[in-house]
Structure 1
């Protein structure tokens, strides 16, 4: 039985680029105030590896750079070195708000995608996989760039707030190495950390005060766009 797309909820997502000293002070403060992501390692962080899709004319990249109000992108993702747990994700942005849908995929299915075999998507009972098939066929969407970074994440239930510090952002040298945790990567943001604050309808005052960094600059900071500079 085929599933219908679930109701999509949108969230706020604020991004800032901060320097190592600011990162050091902020991380120490956040560790005193909020618990780490329960899936993090002993040091509170974990690695995120994503493979982004785009069209031959770089639709996702161009719309990001041009600030298009409604846009979307597809990616595959796994955490740490465990390539047995993989997800297909579709991220949308509308009027400055973000939403994300996801579906589990197997390593064998990802290998098929990397080999250009998409037939299994059409046979899937998950709407997101079938949607990816339509975009692969209709827009010639293809695997484009691997993005890898180390994330320290905190959460605060009121407002459904998640604060992340993404460090050591780096780009993969080819999509075929996506499932290889030992693949080589090229640093793209040396000396900078991406601070992200995600929340639902409101941002609690405690969070607003906790993430204050003097002279920080808000930035439309797309890790995917940063990594595409090295194509």
Structure 2
């Protein structure tokens, strides 16, 4: 059975493509390729993020609160109506991340979101996550707001698969055609020569990896695909420039989810 609950820290780095292959060759001494990458260099991940009409979840996230959460629908490649996708709830408390997810057929997920009624629980679903998503939808009245796709190359540490390194390139986004089956096109989020590198772990980073980051002068930075797209959208809208800020206190008065962090 696929892992449905993840608890980990995520460290993000923007690196130049010119050093990407050097870094990959170095980490291959300690790590092995993700199964998705054994047949092709990069595999595509596509997502739809859900938010309120006034973008409350991403606004709150950009304020860097102690607790924040996101809801997204994820597919590997471009799915069809009967294909399995992942419905994911991402949370962060004091910088430590938690992700819970369940499989659904794509059409089941769309019907869940459009009607608000839970699907009939099947053996490939996680009932607890379905109940949690139902509660989130009733609390926030969410709707699809953003499509994000990217091409990923991923590695697992040979000694402990809880350490993972991913490289995401060609990150593209759109706020139209918000359906996974419509294709993975969109506007580029990063510069052409940039790659997003992430280290995901539930424990400390090994010494060899720390030395590698230091050698290449790779420094941790705050980066959210959804958050950066939202800020970019605001800056590109000349009517809103100077009138709107990502963090507005009045939006923090909306209902917050304070259910147990697992």
Is TM-score (shorter-chain normalized) higher than 0.5? yes
The 2-side partners of 1:28 and 1:158 are apart by: 18
SS in structure 2 opposite 1:67? coil
SS in structure 2 opposite 1:143? strand
Change in Cα spacing, 1:218 to 1:225, as seen in structure 2 (3 Å) is same
Matched, 1:120 2:122: no
The 2-side partners of 1:211 and 1:33 are apart by: 15
Matched, 1:221 2:223: yes
Aligned residues: 223
Offset of residue 157 of structure 1: 4.3
Change in Cα spacing, 1:8 to 1:164, as seen in structure 2 (3 Å) is closer
Change in Cα spacing, 1:9 to 1:43, as seen in structure 2 (3 Å) is closer
Higher Cα radius of gyration: 2
State the match for 1:158 in structure 2: 159
The 2-side partners of 1:35 and 1:223 are apart by: 26
State the match for 1:13 in structure 2: 10
State the match for 1:91 in structure 2: 90
Offset of residue 27 of structure 1: 2.5
TM-score calculated relative to the size of structure 2: 0.76
Offset of residue 104 of structure 1: 0.6
Gapped runs of 5+ residues in structure 1? Answer: 1-6
SS in structure 1 opposite 2:217? coil
State the match for 1:29 in structure 2: 26
**Which piece of structure 1 moves more, 215-224 or 91-100?**
215-224
State the match for 2:254 in structure 1: none
SS in structure 1 opposite 2:169? strand
Q: Which whole-Å deviations, capped at 9, do the CAs of 1:135-167 have from their partners, x for residues lacking one?
A: 222211221111100011000043520000011
RMSD: 2.5
Offset of residue 62 of structure 1: 1.3
2:31/2:158 contact within 8 Å kept: no
TM-score calculated relative to the size of structure 1: 0.85
Offset of residue 8 of structure 1: 6.2
State the match for 1:168 in structure 2: 170
Q: 1:194 aligns with which of 193, 196, 201?
A: 196
2:172/2:185 contact within 8 Å kept: no
State the match for 2:253 in structure 1: none
Offset of residue 212 of structure 1: 4.3
Gapped runs of 5+ residues in structure 2? Answer: 235-262
Runs of 4+ in 1 over 4 A off after TM superposition: none
Matched, 1:185 2:220: no
Q: Which whole-Å deviations, capped at 9, do the CAs of 1:2-50 have from their partners, x for residues lacking one?
A: xxxxx96631110111122132322332345421101225233211101
State the match for 1:101 in structure 2: 100
State the match for 1:3 in structure 2: none
Please show how residues 114-153 of structure 1 align to structure 2 within 5 Å: 116-121=114-119, 124=121, 126-153=127-154
The 2-side partners of 1:96 and 1:112 are apart by: 33
The 2-side partners of 1:104 and 1:204 are apart by: 33
